[in-house]
């Protein structure tokens, strides 16, 4: 079931969003300061490519105060808008019965894109 969901996801926009995250990650990695943020863009982009069958959890243990500071910077520099976009698409997809699995994926991506530092993706 995950394979079918991922194929449909890719056809209807998942690959385009993946390319956008990769381009943003590359642009951020051009500067020394932007490298941690670029890595998070790559992490979200890979999750966006195949979201079915993947889950997000907090990193076990203490993630430290640097993770909190980076999350605050991330939120103010665009994380809030990315999360709101996933929220809107999730709500629009949740209106239809057939869109519910895809809405669930957008809500999962919303939680990751709002504050990606200190979180990990697992299968």
- Provide the pLDDT for residue 58: 84
- Taking CA atoms, 106 is separated from 3, 30, 38, 90, 111, in Å, by 17, 28, 21, 5, 9
First CA to last CA distance, the chain: 14
Q: Which of 71, 56, 60, 39 has the alpha carbon at shortest distance from 105?
A: 56
- Provide the pLDDT for residue 79: 87
Residue-wise pLDDT tens for the chain (123 aa)? 789 988 988 888 889 889 999 999 999 999 999 999 999 999 999 999 899 989 888 887 767 788 889 999 999 988 899 899 999 999 998 998 888 999 999 999 999 999 898 888 888
- Provide the pLDDT for residue 77: 87
Domain ranges, ordered by start, for the chain: 2-122
């Amino acid at each position: 079931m995950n394979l079918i969901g991922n194929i449909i996801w890719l056809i209807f926009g998942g690959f385009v969003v993946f390319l956008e995250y990769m381009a943003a990650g590359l642009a951020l990695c051009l500067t020394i300061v932007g490298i941690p943020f670029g890595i998070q863009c790559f992490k979200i982009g890979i999750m966006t490519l195949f979201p079915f069958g993947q889950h997000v959890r907090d990193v076990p243990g203490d993630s430290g105060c640097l993770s909190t500071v980076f999350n605050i910077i991330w939120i103010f520099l665009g994380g809030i808008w990315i999360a709101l976009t996933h929220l809107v698409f999730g709500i629009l997809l949740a209106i239809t019965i057939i869109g519910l699995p895809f809405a669930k994926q957008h809500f999962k991506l919303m939680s990751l894109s709002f504050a990606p530092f200190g979180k990990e993706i697992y299968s």
